[in-house]
Structure 1
């Protein structure tokens, strides 16, 4: 999937509607910086935003993911493959974030272990120990929230796609 090509296509579609990035951002309830990143090919919108964009610009999801208008836009198999590719990219992004959070959590747990077992106890050490444990717990909770959010987003998208057929 060519993010730069998709970004150029999104910019072209926005210009056809004679909208600014700020106006489009207000319509989609996102920041104009997000619209700018999409159009520069630095990132892709979430799948629910892609669906809104396809509907708003009156193009198929396949056309958006191709970065161009297609004569045969109703090719279901091709659309399914592109959606699967997008889903895989979302899963990779989720995996990277989860790995970073787990690594961060493990470092904090190691610091807590060292503080509790090898250093003399005093108020500062106790505070740092408690802080590290609290942040570790919060990080693990954040992992659950982030992965759950992405899972729900992907499941909801699949349900919308299958209900249209």
Structure 2
């Protein structure tokens, strides 16, 4: 708790145009006493604080600079979350006070654990990380109190796995990640840990391959979402910037020696790029993009493949396949994209590509 008595005395005195001598005379003390109060070198006794509050026509709370803090559970949890975000070490003191006051509150215990984890990583302080683990273990039996749908038992175990990894307890981290690796959600973490050990590097490959495919698919969906957003709001400049960033990544995904489902997906993205370039007054660049869209569509439809191992770095022999809702063929996917664009100029340009084949 911060007391601002020295600053308050000085401020109130100056507001009334008083010198330190004049205030000392009013209170019946020495000038040196007032000087020490304002310099924070000493503190007036309580009767003098009461007398000053009365003299300055204010309350003792205001004179002290004390602001009543909301210490209810929800407000405290929000402050702990803020301290976690801004890496505020002062939050640890509040966390420990809150843990004493609300020892059986899930949200207080959980937020305190997350704060200790964040600051333990930030300061490379293993003691703080171990405290975070201790609090997460304490939070588990309190989980029934939780009302936040984004926090679950899995959330707690994965946080424990991450902290174990930071504490170089890789075996414990692997155990926890594997137990909660639903749909390959933590295959990247498992693969990364295994790949550090030369003796287990090959064991890492299936996990890394699975993670690669999962995250590449997620990136494609995310870019398509952003693209729809920008096109619906007619923000063609942002759409152009998005595609200029994403297409080099997407075109580098498939293995160059074979046809890949990414050829079909990239064909659609290049067609969208042609549309955006037309809308921004770049017809020649739009034609080049449409030509690439058509080339990729023809390439895919000549030998369609949805095998996952057509992606670079995916594990050879990967037997999984990929599905999409773009259309049965790349040509159909292009037609579906054109319907979505509903732009005669882009449709005409695409038809020219098809007629020139």
Do they fold alike, i.e. is TM over 0.5? no
Q: If the length of structure 2 is used for normalisation, what is the TM-score?
A: 0.18
User: Is the radius of gyration larger for structure 1 or structure 2?
Assistant: 2
- Normalised to the residue count of structure 1, the TM-score between the two structures is 0.38
